A and B are shown apart, each in its own frame.
Chain A
Amino acid sequence: MAGSTRASPIVEPATGVPIAVAAPRRHVTPGREAWRRFRRHRLAVLSAGILMTMIVAVVFGPLIWRVPINEIDFAAMLESPSWAHPLGTDDLGQDLLARMMYGGRISLAVGLAAMTMAVVVGTLVGAVAGVSRGRVDAGLMWLTDLFLSLPQLPLLLLIIYLFRDSLKEVAGPEMGTFVLIVVVIGGFRWMPVARLVRAQFFSLRERDFVEAARALGASTLRQVVRHILPNALGPVIVAGTIDVAAAIIAESTLSFLGLGFPPDIPTWGRILYDAKDYLDVAPHWALFAGGAIFLAVLSINYIGDGLRDALDPRRVM
């Protein structure tokens, strides 16, 4: 290597400042390139801003707005938004802003945790299928196709109905339901990721750089972890983003059907479920909860769209 001309300028490791500018071309890391592409999708950037605001609001909001979520005040039942209650109150006079922030924490946490589970399981299944050919691959893909043709919502409802009580006893009503919902939603959403990862593995496995690693004696595990997986990551990130939105919708659907979190834990879906009987007198109640779900899902979907543009190197922009 010594004496050869470097394609990219030598960078001082500590500060990141170029010390010897031999070639005028700037070195662009994949991350910076992706960010440059992502920025061009204006709606995606706007959505990222909205989502960040929502996350900050539900994480830090309760520290500022110190109204308890379960303070019952019959003098202020079903009130429209006012200064005392910026989002109004519900049928028990509980403050909706506090409940929305609390519910947002759960809904967003369920979305992220279920996505993590789906991506981990999907990557594992896809990677195993992609590395081992033949029978293992065929078996795993049959399983994937089987899961894809399962009626998901009925099974979700069935599993939660059957296992809810025993998990509640083990881990408490809130944590037990959380774990159950995350595992079940994640367990029904890994299939697209598995298919993507397998397809990526099939094409990457035969590339020159992987063959070079193989020729140098890299073990299968090292080939996969160091060389194939990082290159297969782009589509997985996009699929994972969409999964967050799908998991939020799934959790809200369960809560909306009365089979998600217990009634005293106000997730967005649960608030909407409680609000649907008061549509004529207090429409704000349903609209705020549903609007929050819609806004979160829409912005996550747009971010996914922006990431698709950003992470697909074949796309010329």
Chain B
Amino acid sequence: MSQYLLRRLLIAVPSLLGISIILFTILALAPGDPFGELATNPAVPPEVRAALREKFGLNDPVYVRYLRWLMAMSQGDWGFSFVSRVDVDVLILQRLPTTLIVIGASQVLALLIALPVGTYAATRPYSLFDQVANTLAFVGFSLPTFFTGIVFILIFSVTLDWLPFVYRSEIDATGFAFVWGHIKQAIMPVAVLGLFQGASWTRFVRSAVLDVVRLDYVTTARAKGLAERVVIMKHIVRNALIPVVTLVALQMPIVFGGAIVTEQIFRIPGIGSLLISSILANDTPVIMAVTFVFACLVILFNLIADILYGWLDPRISYR
């Protein structure tokens, strides 16, 4: 198992390098100058600017600059935010947990919807339940997250006044009220993301289960006299999950996109809203770092998918 993991980790390295090259190329091709701020400042004479350029190595060839940037990134030197005057890694570490909690909770919700609904629908194909579930899934993944978010705010915050629509990291309460306050403000963002993901996963689960349910070994399991619950849980679902894991891993970039939008709507202080605010404030080091963190997260989740793969299908894991 550890050898398998190690190999997967080694495969992830070229992808990370590729992503870093793409990121750096975009930045290098972009018009504009990281010292543009200084150029507009009349107090800085042109000679000083030229000296600064020389000092920071901006006149070097592209590949030298890339290698230097890569070394700095890998040593944890992520730069300095122009706007908040803090180190970028501090800023990101402050906000990353919130993002991960919201994304994680919504994925759990999506799984809790998709697995039972998809399996139940596939074991009774073309029944009324299947048709209703199918239609709802179609509607669910055609609804963009920003629209669902707005409709949720309209219903639960504006009309019913049940839930707050601005996320606050500090809640001045203690004990039970503190926990409840956090749960209450997380309900809508998690529901928006989770329902969207759950809708598309339901379709994946349904078609995967449908593929497995007619195979011979399922008939054998039934013929042995196993309980229907055991057949479904141990024989059907476990095997059907293998293609679902692949599809879910492929969906991860979309999940992070949805998280950025959701954080922006509900003003959650995570890295997604950090990205938007730093783009609007021209804070280049933060933008680069957050984009890179998102890329790392996508690769991390692909890695987790690979591990799950090995657990679901023992034939794969030790090869």
A binding-site residues for B, Cβ under 8 Å: 142, 145-146, 148-155, 157-159, 161-163, 165-166, 245, 249, 252-253, 256-259, 269, 272, 275-276, 279-280, 283, 286-287, 290, 293-294, 297-298, 301-302, 305
Cβ of B71 under 8 Å from chain A: no
Contacts of A148 in B (CB 8 A): 250, 253
Tell me whether A149 and B253 are in contact in the complex, defined as CB-CB below 8 angstroms, given that A245-B142, A252-B144 are known contacts.
yes
Tell me whether A158 and B287 are in contact in the complex, defined as CB-CB below 8 angstroms, given that A163-B31, A256-B146, A272-B147 are known contacts.
yes
Q: A294-B143, A305-B138 given. 13 additional CB < 8 A pairs?
A: A149-B299, A149-B302, A150-B295, A151-B257, A152-B254, A154-B275, A159-B26, A257-B264, A276-B265, A279-B150, A290-B144, A297-B142, A297-B143
Contact B150 A290 (CB under 8 A): yes
Q: Of the candidates B31, B154, B261, which one forms a contact with A286 in the assembled complex, judged by CB atoms under 8 Å apart?
A: B154
- Closest A-B pairs by Cβ, 6 of them: A153-B257, A151-B294, A162-B30, A290-B147, A298-B142, A166-B31
Cβ of B291 under 8 Å from chain A: yes
Contact A150 B261 (CB under 8 A): no
Tell me whether A272 and B150 are in contact in the complex, defined as CB-CB below 8 angstroms, given that A149-B302, A298-B142 are known contacts.
yes
A157 to B151, CA, bound (A): 25
Contact B261 A256 (CB under 8 A): yes
Q: Of the candidates A142, A161, A272, A294, which one forms a contact with B142 in the assembled complex, judged by CB atoms under 8 Å apart?
A: A294
Cβ of B187 under 8 Å from chain A: no
Contacts of A166 in B (CB 8 A): 31-32
B binding-site residues for A, Cβ under 8 Å: 14-15, 18-19, 22-23, 26-27, 30-32, 138-139, 141-144, 146-147, 150-151, 153-154, 158, 250, 252-254, 256-257, 260-261, 264-265, 275-276, 279-280, 287-288, 290-291, 294-295, 297-299, 302
Q: Of the candidates A142, A161, A293, A305, which one forms a contact with B147 in the assembled complex, judged by CB atoms under 8 Å apart?
A: A293
A151 to B260, CA, bound (A): 11
Contact B253 A294 (CB under 8 A): no
Contact B264 A161 (CB under 8 A): no
Contact B146 A252 (CB under 8 A): yes
Contacts of A305 in B (CB 8 A): 138
Contacts of A272 in B (CB 8 A): 146-147, 150
Q: Of the candidates A150, A163, A293, A298, which one forms a contact with B298 in the assembled complex, judged by CB atoms under 8 Å apart?
A: A150
Contact A293 B144 (CB under 8 A): yes
Contacts of B23 in A (CB 8 A): 155, 158
Contact B279 A302 (CB under 8 A): no
Q: Which secondary structure dominates chain A's binding surface?
A: helix
Tell me whether A162 and B32 are in contact in the complex, defined as CB-CB below 8 angstroms, given that A148-B250, A151-B294, A245-B142 are known contacts.
yes
A10 to B141, CA, bound (A): 48
Tell me whether A279 and B297 are in contact in the complex, defined as CB-CB below 8 angstroms, given that A253-B144, A257-B276 are known contacts.
no
Contacts of A297 in B (CB 8 A): 142-144
Contacts of B141 in A (CB 8 A): 301
Tell me whether A294 and B144 are in contact in the complex, defined as CB-CB below 8 angstroms, given that A153-B256, A154-B294, A162-B32 are known contacts.
yes
Contacts of B143 in A (CB 8 A): 294, 297
Q: Of the candidates A150, A258, A269, which one forms a contact with B280 in the assembled complex, judged by CB atoms under 8 Å apart?
A: A258
A149 to B22, CA, bound (A): 12
A283 to B158, CA, bound (A): 10
Contact A146 B153 (CB under 8 A): no
Tell me whether A253 and B298 are in contact in the complex, defined as CB-CB below 8 angstroms, given that A297-B144, A298-B142 are known contacts.
no
Contacts of B256 in A (CB 8 A): 151, 153-154
Tell me whether A152 and B253 are in contact in the complex, defined as CB-CB below 8 angstroms, given that A272-B146, A279-B158 are known contacts.
yes
Contacts of B18 in A (CB 8 A): 146
- Of chain B, the residue at the smallest CB distance from A188 is B253
